[in-house]
Amino acid sequence: MDAFYSYLLPFILLSVSLFLIFRFHKRNFGASKLPPGKTGWPMVGENVAFAMSGPEKFICDRMNKYSAQVFQTSLLGEKMAVFCGATGNKFLFSNENKLLTSWWPQSMKKALLFPSFVENSLKEVTALKRSFMHDILRPEALRHYIPIMDSMAQQHLEAEWAPHKEVKILPLSKNYTFALACRLFMSIQDPDHVARLADSFALVTSGLFSVPIDIPGTAYNRAIKGGKMVREELLAIIRHRKNELLENKDVTFHDLLSRMLLVTDENGEFLNEKEISNNIIGLLVASHDTTSTAVTFVLNYLAELPHVYTMVYKEQMEIAKSKGREELLNWEDIEKMKYSWNVAREALRLAPPGQVHSTHKNPKYFTNPEKFDPSRFEGSGPAPYTFVPFGGGPRMCPGKEYARLEILVFMHNVVTKFKLEKLIPNEKIIFHSSPIPINGVPVRLQPHEE
């Protein structure tokens, strides 16, 4: 899972998305030392129970039944332990390569990676080093992304929102976040090209966390096919860019793809095309589901809670009025969005894209946990390892700052243009790789007067 964790844009921690788990190998632990719990039926494990109850209830029920610290289960064809509470979070985030290592279930590797990488360890699959990712995701580098994010958000709202009286937030958020990732990471701007990639990724993400039975007609089989299409498309993109760089064409690229083609490892070797594809897949999968889910729930709460929307609108309009008519957002503007970011963090607490549920709604850590209250994040904020949508400690997601910028820029553009009226007050939430509002959060748009 390190590819997701490291290249994360956003939330993006599939180690966290997999419910803060790591694999227990029986050869390393005697049966007497295994945590309490059950693993369910062979192959199926407890996938059905997880799907029926959702991750929050699934985890809370087992915490109450077996242990509030750790329990065992079986999901995605793998036996695993789920660590719970702030202590469990700290243990996981502080002991990488000491007492545990990150991993991907075999079923995930089969869907996402080239066949030649499926049996490799996660360290071998992860070609790029964290130092490289930190370099391109540090605040100084991300400053240059803000005007592009702002410009693309404006264009997206003008084309996909403004012509309509009612829209569904979730599919439009997916369109925006995926298109932005394609633009920033690979300089792909053609809408048809972006749509082709997005359609293939939708197959992958919709079946990635299903029961791993690869027969025609199953969601997992569609994920396998979608992954193959994605890999083929990425290889074509990588080879085309490689040829452009080799031929020294009069084209300048400052995106992640060009950086990966030009970087060398500790032995001075360039990354091969499949290694680059593996890393881009980690980025794009994260962009397709987790970031769009975060944006969706932030806007969902703004539509649901008028008093919160009013406060965000006031803060964002002060920033908008300080700008020239055609002037794009910059780093200084983002730093002024303090209340808006508290709202976003509260949305991430209540509806974490990575489905971390052992602390976020625990009254031990958050008073009146079901209440939407951005003031929780004022001052020093929550206790360490209790609010973990981006991981924590040594395992803090390096894409956290990218996620913050993307969410805040989109919030700014939406609230300064529209007031949102939620059309389905108690919309049902289902769970795939992230929590999904079943109707896509339909809202009525009320444009602000110029």
Three-state DSSP at 365 gives coil
Q: What count of other Cβ atoms lies within 10 Å of the Cβ of residue 180?
A: 23
Euclidean distance between the first and the last CA atom of the chain, given in angstroms as a whole number: 47
Residues 9 and 49 sit within 8 Å (Cβ to Cβ): no
30: left (phi over 0), alpha (psi -120 to 50) or beta: beta
Residue among 169, 291, 186 at smallest CA distance from 230: 186
Alpha carbon of 238 to those of 5, 231, 244, 274, 376: distances in Å? 23, 10, 10, 9, 45
Contact between residue 202 and residue 328 where contact means Cβ atoms under 8 Å apart:
no
Strand 70-75 with 78-83, pairing: antiparallel
Tell the burial category of 219 from Cβ atoms under 10 Å away from its Cβ (0-12, 13-18, 19+).
Answer: middle
60 known member of a binding site:
no
CB 210 within 8 A of CB 223: yes
Q: Do the beta carbons of residue 217 and residue 248 sit within 8 Å?
A: no
Placement of tokens 């039944």 in the chain: 65
- Answer for the pair 198, 174: CB distance below 8 angstroms, yes or no: yes
**Distance between CA atoms of 416 and 198, rounded to whole angstroms?**
28
Which residue positions form the known binding site for heme?
397
Residue ranges of the annotated binding site are 397
